């Protein structure tokens, strides 16, 4: 992938020299390139192997059954379309066009991140609310009460994004710097891996759209179930595709950060697909659930405050639960999955314990904005895709506008998420490599300065809280 032309932070940082050689012992990197097998120290337990094979089998079974279902629904839909007043020529073109637009938008978005990370970071946090709000307004214009209700949800989501963007403004400078450091010299052939992932996403999504159209043509209760099954399969498959890319690129990037060696991203992807799909499928199932649980717990903690003793003790309990849950599955565990062929739960636990072993690093990880950045970027791509389909449907066939707009948003969101997985992989590899050797000469003072700043802010808040308590207790 091309070196960013305007990367202001990378030029002065030793870690980013791609051809340096570390005096450290040879890396356990991983798999021997000739055999593609893990080193003996990383052999899995029988239970771990069983679960990996089970989830790998589930993935391929799901792909096979979903493909058969889509083919049957497509053929049935084309045969019965005329008898159920379904118009394939009006339904398919807008949605298929939006799928293609999502691929183009994803490629464009990641190119912006490559060549100007600083502007891309700031653009994401103001462009995503605008595009989301535009989708909401479009749905309101359709006219029905249901459409207006869904549109109101999108507008509310856009307002939430705007408030969040204001809240995290002080952290944007650090986010810009860490992204610039971690993505300055992507592994060789990263562009091919990312492009292939986007193409697979677009082609597979277009294929599933034909099945959704076939089910829509008859609109029975059973067809609604079929559509739900197809969308759930799409979500899980896209998660696996994203995380396979993340494992491969984070592995190659970790090797450079930790040992100063170069690794080809295409070779890393080959080993990943051949040997690690089971662990990736487990992680693709656990991480979204754990992120949802942990996000809910953190929201409860923010709302509880500390004024009420019962609420405070409850928030403390929730915090302990969140700290335990995150060790069972987190996205940073994918780095150890790729590098050491660990099971996903073991990799997540080991990675998080490494973060906790470095004073203050866990707080930095918790405040990291790379996942929010990728999420809002995916929302932006989904919004562009849904606007393409929604405006088209609004002009030619209003009855289909809501469903087609929502399908386009979902597909665009997942395609955008896959497109920026490489960025999240580079950031994850940077943090994991730092946690294992924070005193390495390959790292500059970016993370230590952030740790110091967070500690100062925490001390300032504690002092203010103590002063407030003293005032409350005084007669």
pLDDT of residue 84: 60
Q: Is the pLDDT of residue 229 over 70?
A: yes
How large is the C-alpha radius of gyration of the chain?
24
% of the chain beyond a pLDDT of 90: 47
- Mean pLDDT value of segment 417-444: 92
Q: Is the pLDDT of residue 475 over 80?
A: no
pLDDT per position as a tens digit, 150-181: 999 999 999 999 999 888 888 888 888 898 88
Smallest CA-to-CA distance from 400 within 144, 65, 109 is with: 144
Q: How many CB atoms lie within 10 A of CB 257?
A: 27
* pTM, 2 dp: 0.86
Q: How many CB atoms lie within 10 A of CB 219?
A: 12
Q: What are the DSSP calls for 120-140, one per residue?
A: HHHHHHHHHHHHHHHHHHHHH
Q: Is the pLDDT of residue 138 over 50?
A: yes
CA 417-418-424 angle, to 5 degrees, is: 75
Which range is least confidently modeled, 220-224, 270-274, 385-389?
220-224
Environment class of 310 (CB within 10 Å of its CB; exposed 0-12, middle 13-18, buried 19+): exposed
Residue identified by tokens 């509880």 is: 304
Give the single-character DSSP code of 185.
S
Cα–Cα distance for residue pair 337/344, rounded to 1 Å: 6
Calculate the alpha carbon distances from 137 to 151, 254, 380 in Å: 6, 44, 15
- Mean pLDDT value of segment 200-215: 95
Residues 412/239, Cβ–Cβ less than 8 Å: no
pLDDT per position as a tens digit, 109-127: 888 888 888 888 888 998 9
pLDDT per position as a tens digit, 315-359: 566 667 767 778 888 899 999 999 998 889 999 999 999 999 998
Mean pLDDT of the chain: 83
Smallest CA-to-CA distance from 49 within 289, 288, 346, 333 is with: 346
pLDDT per position as a tens digit, 279-292: 999 999 999 988 88
End-to-end CA distance of the chain: 67
Give the single-character DSSP code of 33.
T
Residues 132/383, Cβ–Cβ less than 8 Å: yes
């Amino acid at each position: 992938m091309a070196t960013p032309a305007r990367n202001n932070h990378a030029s002065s940082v030793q870690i980013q020299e791609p051809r340096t050689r570390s005096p450290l012992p040879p890396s356990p990197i991983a798999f021997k390139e000739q055999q593609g097998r893990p080193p003996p120290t990383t052999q899995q337990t029988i239970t771990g192997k069983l679960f990996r094979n089970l989830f790998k089998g589930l993935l391929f079974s799901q792909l096979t059954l979903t493909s058969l279902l889509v083919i049957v629904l497509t053929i049935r839909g084309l045969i019965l379309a005329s008898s159920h007043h379904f118009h394939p020529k009006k339904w398919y073109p807008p949605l298929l066009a939006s799928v293609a637009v999502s691929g183009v938008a994803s490629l464009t978005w990641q190119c912006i991140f490559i060549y100007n990370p600083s502007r891309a970071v700031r653009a994401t946090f103001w462009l995503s609310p605008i595009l989301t709000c535009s989708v909401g307004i479009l749905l309101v214009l359709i006219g029905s009460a249901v459409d207006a209700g869904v549109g109101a949800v999108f507008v509310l989501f856009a307002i939430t994004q705007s408030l969040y963007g204001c809240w995290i403004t002080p952290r944007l400078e650090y986010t810009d710097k860490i992204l610039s450091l971690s993505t300055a010299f992507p592994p060789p052939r990263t562009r091919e891996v990312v492009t292939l992932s986007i193409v697979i996403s677009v082609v597979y999504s277009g294929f599933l759209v034909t099945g959704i159209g076939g089910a829509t043509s008859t609109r029975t209760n059973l067809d609604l179930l079929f559509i739900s099954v197809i969308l759930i399969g799409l979500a899980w498959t896209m998660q696996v595709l994203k995380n396979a890319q993340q494992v491969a690129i984070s592995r190659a990037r970790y090797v450079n950060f930790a040992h100063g060696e170069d690794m080809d991203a295409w070779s890393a992807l080959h080993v990943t697909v051949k040997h690690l799909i089971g662990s990736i499928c487990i992680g693709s199932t656990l991480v979204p659930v754990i992120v949802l649980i942990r996000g809910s717990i953190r929201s409860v903690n923010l709302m509880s405050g500390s004024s009420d003793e019962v609420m405070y003790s409850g928030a403390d309990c929730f915090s302990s639960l969140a700290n335990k849950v995150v060790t069972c599955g987190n996205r940073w565990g994918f780095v150890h999955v790729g590098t050491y062929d660990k099971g996903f739960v073991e990799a997540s636990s080991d990675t998080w314990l490494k973060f906790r072993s470095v004073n203050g690093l866990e707080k930095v990880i918790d405040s990291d904005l790379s996942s929010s950045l990728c999420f809002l970027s995916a929302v932006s791509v989904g919004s562009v895709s849904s606007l393409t389909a929604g405006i088209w449907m609004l002009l030619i066939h209003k009855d289909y506008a809501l469903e087609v707009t929502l399908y386009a948003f979902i597909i665009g969101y997942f395609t955008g998420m896959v497109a920026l997985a490489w960025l999240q992989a580079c950031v994850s590899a940077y943090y994991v490599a730092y946690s294992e050797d924070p005193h390495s000469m390959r790292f500059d003072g970016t993370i230590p300065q952030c740790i110091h700043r967070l500690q100062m802010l925490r001390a300032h808040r504690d002092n203010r809280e103590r002063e407030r308590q003293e005032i409350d207790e005084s007669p």
